[in-house]
Structure 1
């Protein structure tokens, strides 16, 4: 991780259209970004313009091109990288930066019809299909879940229609521009002294000027072992646009999650972003603070 930015891997399919946009490569100071091609590159004819004093010399290693800034550059900075393949084909890229992420590896396919490009598209389609199947299965199970019904009410702000009572509130900001207000609640059965359910309401405001934020997955895990616990989740929307758009996420789970197997004192609720799988937010839940 470079100063709060997450490393990601991407695939870029180039176009032969004359007016096609030059693809961007996002870098971070003292971190190596790898561009991977299907064919070897020509070391002598691969150049980064204006690199002196800002980058290490660009290296061609077989089918890979390595780019490493000496220090962070700003999103408004841009440098032209021209990669020349062994067959003489020149491929231009804009080397720049963005606040949330940087490219650890970029897989480049100049020809969309090659075996490698088709295989990459197939694997991505299979991945999306698997995600959709998992979502459909999860939604099917949610239809009869009391916890999901409670989470839906909390996400819509209908706290008075639930048995939950507020325990504590905290405000955090993450490196990617999100402002997150976390409210932790518990509920008790009439004949019980200890809570039987725990709820977390997350008010997320996306203050990023350019990046949207979307939820892919939430996980409740035991601190230390990382063992997952079951939970119910509802959200007011699937994504939050840049410039201050906000929404709510609500999670409900049984208090017995603290008593499974290793019986940890703390559980961690993690929220991940769509597409990149970046962890957007995390909340530590202490059993003693919750009266368990």
Structure 2
């Protein structure tokens, strides 16, 4: 469904803001751009083990890597004609390239035979959340190389988890996230913000009130906030914020922000608040026409609204 032009249903707020109507028409997200991932696959010697799956996408190269060389004459995929490029088999690699997207129920049997005579079956199917870029296959999960690779993977995972925990701890103690928490809990009076503008766009399924907040003193001089108070008017399903994005309108560069919600989802008949606090660039660095775009994506990942902020006009408002 196409989003209508801003002038048909939007509103130009004095000097600073342009708001597009939220939640009126959900815009289909663009076709996902697959980011191929690399993973390790450790096979079991149990004869009852499930056949491992390989997730592929159109015109995306998926490579299976083995510890031993593959036998090209005995490596084959059934029913590949017209759906895939011919398999490329060389050394310890098997390369799969689909010519077009597969249907969710498409499944192709791939049998890879190594030079020692070991035959390994795989099921090639359509990518779901991710597409396989490279799979490092270890037929013997207890081989020295498999153990070394698994150890490195566990160490990398532990480092990532420690970094993520540190990031969460920093968020919990950061000023921006603390302010967003207060705003989401409707404690605006406890923050250094004032409500600059409010707007209630026409919405068929959600009663949404949008508030723009600016600093009322020096404490938050370099910040601004946007608060969405949303009442779910539907009778059958909760509304959930899937993602929020803040970008430079000209370069599409993503900008950091703090987000807090009063609830994970908003049930039918219930009201919730979503608060976003962002840093503002120094006024002397802002040029006429500099804009930030804040986008909201709701149920099923559909874009359901956006807010545009004119940074040059915003700087003038903050200085007064």
Taking a change above 3 Å as real, the CA distance of residues 167 and 195 of structure 1, as seen in their structure-2 partners, is farther
Structural mapping, 1:153-164, within 5 Å: 153-154=182-183, 156=184, 158=186, 163=193
Measured in 2, the distance between the counterparts of 1:80 and 1:235 equals: 46
SS of 1:132's partner is helix
Deviation at 1:77, TM superposition (A): 0.6
Call closer, same or farther: CA 1:199–1:42 in 2, change over 3 Å.
Answer: farther
Deviations 1:71-126 (A, max 9, x none): 22111110100011111111111111034432222221212122332232222222
Work out the number of aligned pairs and report it.
253
Using the alignment, how far apart are the partners of 1:110 and 1:258 within structure 2?
60
In terms of Rg, which structure is larger?
Answer: 2
Does the 8 Å contact 1:8/1:102 carry over to 2?
yes
Q: Give unmatched runs, 5+ long, in structure 1.
A: 171-181, 204-212, 241-246, 272-279
8 A Cα contact 1:80 1:94, kept in partner: yes
Which residue, 210, 215, 222 being the options, matches 1:189? 215
Q: Which runs of 5+ in 2 are unaligned?
A: 1-29, 202-207, 231-240, 266-271, 297-301, 316-320
* Structure ranking higher on relative contact order (CA contacts 8 Å, 6+ apart): 2
Q: Does 1:25 align with 2:54?
A: yes
- After TM superposition, give the deviation of residue 138 of structure 1 in Å: 2.8
Asked whether the 8 Å contact 2:215–2:223 carries over to 1, the reply is no
What residue number does 1:6 align with? 34
Paired residue for 1:73? Answer: 102
1:195 is displaced (CA, Å) by 6.8
RMSD of Structure 2 on Structure 1 (CA): 4.6
Contact 2:222/2:282, CA 8 A, preserved across alignment: no
- Residue 115 (1) aligns with residue 140 (2): no
Q: What is the aligned partner in structure 1 of residue 311 from structure 2? A: 288
Q: Where is the strand percentage greater, Structure 1 or Structure 2?
A: 1
Q: TM-score, normalised by structure 1?
A: 0.65
Deviation at 1:65, TM superposition (A): 0.2
Corresponding residue number in structure 1 for 2:122: 93
Partner of 1:64: 93
Q: Retained in 1: the 8 A contact 2:179–2:277?
A: yes
Is residue 252 of structure 1 aligned with residue 277 of structure 2?
Answer: yes
Counterpart secondary structure, 2:215: coil
- Structure 1 or 2: more helix by fraction: 2
Q: Within the alignment, does 1:104 sit opposite 2:133 as a pair?
A: yes
